[in-house]
Structure 1
């Protein structure tokens, strides 16, 4: 009985002492835009207590004894900030802080244990030091990612990463503001990802991770994933004009709709909402012998506001249209024999047209207990029509082998999650439960034999696709101590693929269903603010084309991928940041796209291993250097030695450069990218030759305007941007020839730009 009385008295005293503790609750905003800043590191000096701001820019410290405290805030690209706060018993001190932008200082960058799994130091540095000036630079912000364009600029780029020829997105998941870019069971290829609907000047941030290690990333995220974030608010309205060689013109503008009368010298009013409208028009004949006549139109509108004090609403609508001619891939022998020039074509009637209209609704709610609820609804209406000729006269010696690939698609879906943060002893547990739904309804997915882009000679495939992907996942991020954190997750995806063959009589609608379970486990050890070690492991997958799996009664719908990364993030010097990783990836099934047959063929198991190295170094207060080195050893499994090369898979790549940012308005960069020789077929008897290309960017900015000069291929080297081992026949040849076919890379290409801001 005495023991019970003692325990009761102790709890009563403790509860009273606990009740007299105070709280600091704050909100952090951008001084210019007045919008909340998420991911800001906030710490109490000398106490070892730290946190990061949530999506509403909020932070909170509970259970503080009455005393004066010093708050320190730091965020990449912003000036550090300190404030003295006095906490009284039973009081919550409300703090509002605005951070001002500042030049990037690598000496102030720290390796944080607070959100190790989500840390994006490399990408955050790159986006601030290397402003995006064209649509191709968007993807090149991912270290080790290379692209190639082989259809005149209107078609999605071919992507290379971690020993993969990813075609147009088969094993990399791309999203914009959380909305999917990849098109499954696409008329041209599985995972086809066309990013040309993004206006480069509106990209605010890029998040990426290589490997299948993120629980909320599902289909296609095997080599990795990339999410591009567009601006929530414009700093100022702007108009930009560009003109360059090869009859190239571009106009882009953005209007801050809620502050049209504000001058640059007038501070943005403190408001909970923003809205802007932006548009882009591009035209170019390009450098090919046959004018490209490339046209592209982009329009985007975005609204951001608050539904009450705790909910953010973001509405985004955009529309995009493009049409072009292209010269296609040309064979080495035709150039060597002088039949065509380096920039010539065998079939000058190739080309295409595409469009995409998007609606994206995002809601983020932070409850009084700091739980985060995310809801997103998206819709896309998409059209695609492409004319290609890969083999010239190999099949049809009279009319040629030109094909049309065409589809119309409605894509809609939902992404939602619920996150809670709980303190258990000295550890912090962040639990996230999520649900995702996506449905692609494609009408008239077509492959036809055509001539001159006008005459339809023979329909080869014609049908409708209805593909559903639903997923549930649970993710736990545990910060066990100030140094060690663990992330574990489990994801389940269900696919239902239906294909209706409209060329069959009668029209059979057949379907196939399959699910896959994907576990993830990631460990992080932060030894100091200058050193972090990590081990990532996980299972991912890529879905196969519905037109392949349905006729095979569901075989090979969801082949799995198993990956692991052992890496380090280190600052050996105050101004030097290095990220290095040794990685391994094993795939249950490779896919090879057969363009003239319009199918994706399974080609067996594979494995890849390699090393990634990224370094960022601040040489002076205004000069920065970056370097990426990436090696890979890709091999097919089950094939005999010497016959097990993976065609076009990169084995060594490197990119880097120098960037200048001064306080006088002068900025710029000079960059290189290198892709080594690589096998073009399974026995390496045909080799895709490597290249080194340099680019230059110079800008001079004043209060109201900016002048820019952009130069691609600064030293005017002759290079092959894309290469394929293809069997083709020219008009007068008696037999097909198997050799390298290529698309020539950009020669020296200069553009001038003028931007006016108000």
Structure 2
């Protein structure tokens, strides 16, 4: 009886267990898109959760305890165009840090009649500029986290080959696309620039995989026409990639495994929190890693690895100084079958070795000049080197060197404007 009474007494007590969904912080800075001046009093909201915040005098905002998931972010400020970010990802492993730029909205004034003898000037169509976000790069199918492949979702843009990210814009050659990074032109920033070619020879533009990982990218811009005057020497389009700053409040590490590669990223503050920050990423190809484990993918072996970094140093009076760099190594090895009955094309009789390496270093300096003017200077150097050898098999299957190609390209860029 005592045992029964004890069990009845314990059953009268209920010990509830509460499970809490993972949460994370959403924070960032809101600035004027032209002058880079911080905007105080701007409202940032997540309509799906009813949560929001107001930016302080330095343009900073912070929303704590946001459940993980994808949200629409709305930014509003008097005198500026509203900004809406779709499918913003909030992860449990790291803070979501946003760099938001607002454009001034036009004001309605009294009508003024102006007459002139010159012909009308056509205003560049806004549809010729597209913003490419990291969230879109991750969610769109078959992009492989590559902003160039994402651009094929726009009208007038197609991919000339599924094996490469070369873009045909309004019927122009893929060689007419200009690659820009942080506002300056660089050489072709892609692994295996011979991808998709019939004889594994290097192309002038495009490649199998972009050297910049999605872990590094911010909001990039894709121009298909009506280029600004700063984009010179362009025939078909411009892909201006931008790097995001690292988390300037706490250190974070990210390990990501995907079909393309295995990424290891690190970011955090330099010196005291809230000021300078660093962001670095190393990636090794998944196919290359599996091949080294002894798994055969056929006659062709593809391997690549890359490293990139971005250092941000905020200055006084709204200025900033950044340093960035990237480098990549890739190789493509094709071994011919030692059975002539299996040869269908001329390439099948060759042992082909292709290797490529690319690198770029640069810096940016930004300084507001008063309240309505901004001075920005960007300098960068980049280089690309690739080699290809082709050894033809004779009737006794002996490989004889018949082809050797080598290509070098370097570019130094300096842009400064107010």
Q: Of 257, 260, 274, which aligns to 1:271? A: 274
Say if 2:238 is the partner of 1:225.
yes
Q: 2: distance between equivalents of 1:327 and 1:365? A: 54
Unaligned runs of 5+ in 2: 1-23, 76-81, 85-101, 107-122, 195-200
Tell me the residue number matched to 1:317.
325
Note if contact 1:254-1:277 (Cα within 8 Å) is conserved in structure 2: yes
Deviation track 1:708-740 (CA, whole Å, cap 9, x = no partner) reads xxxxxxxxxxxxxxxxxxxxxxxxxxxxxxxxx
Note if contact 2:149-2:165 (Cα within 8 Å) is conserved in structure 1: no
Tell me the residue number matched to 1:646.
none
Deviation at 1:359, TM superposition (A): 1.1
Tell me the residue number matched to 1:350.
352
Tell me the residue number matched to 1:362.
364
Deviation at 1:401, TM superposition (A): 10
Deviation at 1:417, TM superposition (A): 0.6
Q: 2: distance between equivalents of 1:104 and 1:216? A: 32
Give the CA RMSD over aligned residues.
4.9
Q: 1: distance between equivalents of 2:347 and 2:47? A: 47
Deviation at 1:33, TM superposition (A): 7.7
Q: How many residues align?
A: 319
SS of the aligned residue for 1:141 comes to: helix
Deviation at 1:73, TM superposition (A): 4.1
Q: 1: distance between equivalents of 2:36 and 2:83? A: 23
SS of the aligned residue for 1:238 comes to: strand
Deviation at 1:382, TM superposition (A): 2.8
Q: Of 176, 200, 220, which aligns to 2:214? A: 200
Q: Identify, as 1 or 2, the structure richer in helix.
A: 2
Q: Of 238, 253, 261, which aligns to 2:264? A: 253
Say if 2:203 is the partner of 1:210.
no
Q: 1: distance between equivalents of 2:137 and 2:270? A: 28
Note if contact 2:44-2:74 (Cα within 8 Å) is conserved in structure 1: no
Q: 1: distance between equivalents of 2:377 and 2:27? A: 24
Deviation at 1:290, TM superposition (A): 0.2
SS of the aligned residue for 1:211 comes to: coil
Deviation track 1:266-295 (CA, whole Å, cap 9, x = no partner) reads xxx861211122211114259963031x22
SS of the aligned residue for 2:378 comes to: strand
Residues 193, 104 of structure 1: CA spacing in aligned structure 2 closer, same or farther, 3 A cutoff? same
Tell me the residue number matched to 2:71.
103
Tell me the residue number matched to 1:172.
177
Tell me the residue number matched to 1:37.
30
Deviation at 1:365, TM superposition (A): 0.7
Residues 140, 158 of structure 1: CA spacing in aligned structure 2 closer, same or farther, 3 A cutoff? closer
Tell me the residue number matched to 2:378.
376
SS of the aligned residue for 1:198 comes to: coil
Map of 1:387-402 to 2, 5 A cutoff?
387=389
Q: 1: distance between equivalents of 2:62 and 2:146? A: 29
Tell me the residue number matched to 1:572.
none
TM-score by length of 1: 0.35
Residues 109, 319 of structure 1: CA spacing in aligned structure 2 closer, same or farther, 3 A cutoff? closer
Note if contact 1:173-1:226 (Cα within 8 Å) is conserved in structure 2: yes
Map of 1:48-447 to 2, 5 A cutoff?
52-54=32-34, 56-59=36-39, 73=43, 94=57, 96-98=59-61, 100=63, 103-104=71-72, 114=105, 123-124=130-131, 127-131=134-138, 135=144, 137-142=146-151, 143-144=154-155, 145-147=157-159, 157-166=165-174, 170-182=175-187, 191-193=204-206, 196-219=210-233, 221-234=234-247, 237-242=252-257, 250-258=261-269, 271-284=274-287, 289-292=298-301, 294-326=302-334, 339-340=342-343, 346-387=348-389, 403-418=403-418
Note if contact 2:358-2:383 (Cα within 8 Å) is conserved in structure 1: yes
Deviation at 1:312, TM superposition (A): 0.7
Deviation at 1:406, TM superposition (A): 0.9
SS of the aligned residue for 1:37 comes to: strand
Note if contact 1:302-1:314 (Cα within 8 Å) is conserved in structure 2: yes
Deviation at 1:212, TM superposition (A): 4.4
Tell me the residue number matched to 2:198.
none
Residues 196, 367 of structure 1: CA spacing in aligned structure 2 closer, same or farther, 3 A cutoff? same
Tell me the residue number matched to 2:110.
none
Deviation at 1:414, TM superposition (A): 0.8
Q: 1: distance between equivalents of 2:228 and 2:46? A: 24
Note if contact 2:375-2:417 (Cα within 8 Å) is conserved in structure 1: yes
Q: 1: distance between equivalents of 2:268 and 2:59? A: 26
Note if contact 1:364-1:374 (Cα within 8 Å) is conserved in structure 2: yes
SS of the aligned residue for 1:349 comes to: strand
Note if contact 1:253-1:280 (Cα within 8 Å) is conserved in structure 2: yes
Q: 2: distance between equivalents of 1:120 and 1:276? A: 32
Deviation at 1:379, TM superposition (A): 1.4
SS of the aligned residue for 1:215 comes to: coil
TM-score by length of 2: 0.60
Note if contact 1:258-1:276 (Cα within 8 Å) is conserved in structure 2: no
Q: 2: distance between equivalents of 1:379 and 1:113? A: 34
Deviation at 1:164, TM superposition (A): 2.8
Note if contact 1:127-1:205 (Cα within 8 Å) is conserved in structure 2: yes
Q: 2: distance between equivalents of 1:316 and 1:192? A: 22
Note if contact 1:212-1:223 (Cα within 8 Å) is conserved in structure 2: no
Deviation at 1:173, TM superposition (A): 1.2
